[in-house]
Amino acid sequence: MTTKYGGYMGKVLMIDLLKKEAIEYPFSDEERALYIGGKTMAAKIIKDNLKGHEKAFSDDNLLVITTGPLTGSGAPSSSRFNISTLSPQTGYLTSSNCGGNFGYYLKKAGLDALILKGHLEKPSWIEINNDQILFHEADDLWGMKTGEVQKALDEKLRLKNGRVRKNGKIVIGPAGENQVLYSCIVSNDRVSGRGGTGAVMGYMNVKAVVASGNKEVKVLEKDKMTKLCQKWFKYLRKHPLTGSQLPKLGTAGLVSAMQMKSILATKNYKYGQFEDFEDVNGETLAKKYNIVNKGCLTCPIKCARTVSVEGVITKGPELETLVLLGSGILNNDLKAILKWNYELDELGMDTISCANTISYAMEANEKGLWDNGLEFKKIDNLSKVFEDIAYKRGIGAELALGSKRLSEKYGGKEFAIHAKGMELAAYEPRKAVGLGLGYAVSNRGGCHLNGGYLVILEGLGLAINPTTYHGKADLTMLFQDLMEMISSSGQCLFTSYAFFPSPLMNHPNSWYTRLANKVLPYCGFAVRLINKYPRIAHLHLPVFHHTKAFEYVTGMKMKFGDYVRAGERGYNLEREVNRRFEVNANKDALPKRLIECLQDASDKDSKVPLEKLKKVYYHARGWDQNGLPKAKLLKKLKIED
Burial of 307 (0-12, 13-18, 19+ CB in 10 A): buried
State the nearest-atom distance from the C-beta of 636 to other proteins, in Å. Answer: 31
What letter represents residue 193's amino acid?
A: G
Our finding on whether 238 is near other proteins (CB under 8 A) is: no
Our finding on whether 237 is near other proteins (CB under 8 A) is: no
Q: What is the CA radius of gyration of the chain?
A: 23
Site string for other proteins, 481-510 (x = CB under 8 A): -------------x-xx-------xxxxx-
What's the CA gap between 100 and 79, in Å, rounded? Answer: 7
Site string for other proteins, 293-312 (x = CB under 8 A): ----------x---------
* Nearer residue to other proteins within complex by CB, 344 or 435: 435
Q: Are 250 and 292 in contact (CB under 8 A)?
A: no
* Nearer residue to other proteins within complex by CB, 301 or 379: 301
* Nearer residue to other proteins within complex by CB, 150 or 341: 341
| Distance spanning both ends of the chain, measured CA to CA | 24
Q: What is the DSSP string of 309-338?
A: ETTEEEEPPPHHHHHHTTGGGT---HHHHH
Which 153-212 residues touch other proteins, going by CB under 8 A?
A: none
State the nearest-atom distance from the C-beta of 272 to other proteins, in Å. Answer: 11
State the nearest-atom distance from the C-beta of 471 to other proteins, in Å. Answer: 19
State the nearest-atom distance from the C-beta of 39 to other proteins, in Å. Answer: 19
Q: Where are the beta strands (DSSP E) in 287-445?
A: 306-309, 312-315, 418-419, 422-423
Our finding on whether 286 is near other proteins (CB under 8 A) is: yes
What's the CA gap between 456 and 434, in Å, rounded? Answer: 10
* Nearer residue to other proteins within complex by CB, 341 or 407: 341
Sole window of 251-259, 400-408, 430-438, 618-626 interacting with other proteins (rule: CB under 8 A) = 251-259
Burial of 136 (0-12, 13-18, 19+ CB in 10 A): middle
Our finding on whether 321 is near other proteins (CB under 8 A) is: no
Our finding on whether 395 is near other proteins (CB under 8 A) is: no
Torsion 136-139-141-143 (CA) sign: positive
Sole window of 55-63, 316-324, 343-351, 554-562 interacting with other proteins (rule: CB under 8 A) = 316-324
Our finding on whether 268 is near other proteins (CB under 8 A) is: no
Our finding on whether 274 is near other proteins (CB under 8 A) is: no
Helix (H) or strand (E) holding 32: helix 29-35
Which 73-102 residues touch other proteins, going by CB under 8 A?
A: none
State the nearest-atom distance from the C-beta of 273 to other proteins, in Å. Answer: 8
Which of residues 97, 281, 489, 491 is near other proteins by CB under 8 A? 281
Q: 623: alpha, beta or left, given left = phi > 0 and alpha = psi -120 to 50? A: beta
Q: Are 637 and 568 in contact (CB under 8 A)?
A: yes
The strands making up 132-137's β-sheet, listed across from edge to edge, are 132-137, 124-129, 206-212, 168-171, 185-187, 190-192
Q: What is the DSSP string of 183-225?
A: B-EEETTEEE-SSSHHHHHHHTTEEEEEEE----PPPTTHHHH
State the nearest-atom distance from the C-beta of 356 to other proteins, in Å. Answer: 17
What's the CA gap between 558 and 34, in Å, rounded? Answer: 11
Size of the site for other proteins (CB under 8 A): 39
Our finding on whether 586 is near other proteins (CB under 8 A) is: no
Phi and psi of 413, rounded to 5°? -60, -30
Our finding on whether 244 is near other proteins (CB under 8 A) is: yes
* Nearer residue to other proteins within complex by CB, 91 or 247: 247
Our finding on whether 246 is near other proteins (CB under 8 A) is: yes
Our finding on whether 260 is near other proteins (CB under 8 A) is: yes
Neighbours of 284 (CB within 10 A): 18
Residues engaged in binding other proteins (CB under 8 A): 240-242, 244-246, 248-254, 256-257, 260, 262, 278, 281, 283, 286-287, 303, 318-320, 453, 456, 460-461, 463, 494, 496-497, 505-509
